[in-house]
């Protein structure tokens, strides 16, 4: 029985990964560690909370004692680090917490795993996988779609969030080079799918549209992102863990570059057709842009396809409907996560932005 130690496993991508592993492999155990901040939600794991293969620990990855005790108690084969502060807007307001969680937390996990796994004969079959982001590469030109992020693209982060993730990546690589740690790094494009906290574009716009609240679009809305359905991402991480050579970095993208305004229009169309015919584009409100807003991201996933046989299986036109169907049929989940602290956050992020049109 392999044991997976998953940090941030109650968050959006982490919980989808936990469910993927438990649904794919009958003979596994997952130790799920999450601090349960605003974005960590045990409701995401309702279907497996009583599964004896799933062990949940509420803890902070920066707590060295707690991490060491958990690693020692469960002796995992794999550590998969999803735990991170992940929203660029929040990083602009409070960069310090991103340094603490994303950089210091990753380094703490690396230290604990090195100390637990290192023997006179090496690290055995253990592996540490760092889940990173395409944002560490910076921004791409809009006018040349042939230019994509590749694994050898220089790191050029442009926000406190992406700088913290790039720093964490460099620590992971340094532990591999210095201590021989068995590591991989995956860098994904924008994920979407079930359980995504509604500070991110798709669930935010869906929630607002359903409630006839203005849809705040940064600037001209022409910023471009490559969209990756979360289940495709989870399959890729699974492959990297089990089949990739140690030390390798893999980009994971969906071949789905879309402008932000196109995404918003897709959400409006869905709500209009399936929920409320009075919802239309009049809800769109262009507001002052995010500071340092990267113009375009685009991932080249050739390497993971060539080395491991992975390809994204979900076209955006299919994935967006699956995602919005999920939100439509899980209104109680949305109501729970958008109460309390979320309201004050939303007002802080959007209330005082100048309306452009």
* Residues identified as active-site: 134-135, 161
- Reduced to 3 states (helix: H, G, I; strand: E, B; else coil), residue 19 is helix
Q: Are 79 and 112 contacting, i.e. CB atoms less than 8 angstroms apart? A: no
The sign of the torsion formed by the CA atoms of 329, 88, 256, 187 equals negative
DSSP structure string for 183-203: EEEEEE-EEESTT--TTSHHH
Q: How far apart are CA 2 and CA 214, in angstroms?
A: 48
Q: Please choose, from the candidates 252, 230, 239, 243, the residue with its C-alpha nearest in 3D space to the C-alpha of residue 303.
A: 252
Q: Are 295 and 140 contacting, i.e. CB atoms less than 8 angstroms apart? A: yes
Q: Measure Cα distances from 350 to 39, 236, 259, 286, 346 in Å.
A: 19, 35, 20, 11, 6
- If phi over 0 gives left and psi between -120 and 50 gives alpha, with beta otherwise, what is residue 81? beta
Look up residue 25 and give its DSSP letter.
Answer: -
Q: Between β-strands 224-229 and 54-58, what pairing exists: parallel, antiparallel or unpaired?
A: unpaired
């Amino acid at each position: 029985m392999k044991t997976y130690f998953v940090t941030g496993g109650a968050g959006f991508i982490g919980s989808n990964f936990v469910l993927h592993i438990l649904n794919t492999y009958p003979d596994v155990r997952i130790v799920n560690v999450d601090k349960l901040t605003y974005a960590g939600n045990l409701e995401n794991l309702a279907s497996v909370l009583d599964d004896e293969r799933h062990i949940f620990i509420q803890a902070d990855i920066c707590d060295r004692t707690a991490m060491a005790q958990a690693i020692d108690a469960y002796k995992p084969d794999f550590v998969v680090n999803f735990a991170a502060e992940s929203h660029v807007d929040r990083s602009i307001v409070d960069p310090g917490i991103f340094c603490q969680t994303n950089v210091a937390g990753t380094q703490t996990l690396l230290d604990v795993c090195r100390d637990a796994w290192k023997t006179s004969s090496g690290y055995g079959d253990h592996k540490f996988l760092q889940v990173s982001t395409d944002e560490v590469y910076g921004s791409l030109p809009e006018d040349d779609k042939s230019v994509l992020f590749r694994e050898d693209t220089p790191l050029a982060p442009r926000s406190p969030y992406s700088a913290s993730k790039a720093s964490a990546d460099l620590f992971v690589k340094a532990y591999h080079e210095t201590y021989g740690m068995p590591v991989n790094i995956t860098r994904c494009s924008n994920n979407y799918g079930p359980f995504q906290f509604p500070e991110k574009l798709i669930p935010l716009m869906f929630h607002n549209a359903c409630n006839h609240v203005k849809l705040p679009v940064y600037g001209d809305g022409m910023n471009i992102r490559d969209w990756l359905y979360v289940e495709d991402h989870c399959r890729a991480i699974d492959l990297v863990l089990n089949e990739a050579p140690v030390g390798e970095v893999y980009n994971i993208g969906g071949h789905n570059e879309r402008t932000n305004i196109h995404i918003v229009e897709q959400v409006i169309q869905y709500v209009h057709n399936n929920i409320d015919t009075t919802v239309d584009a009049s809800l769109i409100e262009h507001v002052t842009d995010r500071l340092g807003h990267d113009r375009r991201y685009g991932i080249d996933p050739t390497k993971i396809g060539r080395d491991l046989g992975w390809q994204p299986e979900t076209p955006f036109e299919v994935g967006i409907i699956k995602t919005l169907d999920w939100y439509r049929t899980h209104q109680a989940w949305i109501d729970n996560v958008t109460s309390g602290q979320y309201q004050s956050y939303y007002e802080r992020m959007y209330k005082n932005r100048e309306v452009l049109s």
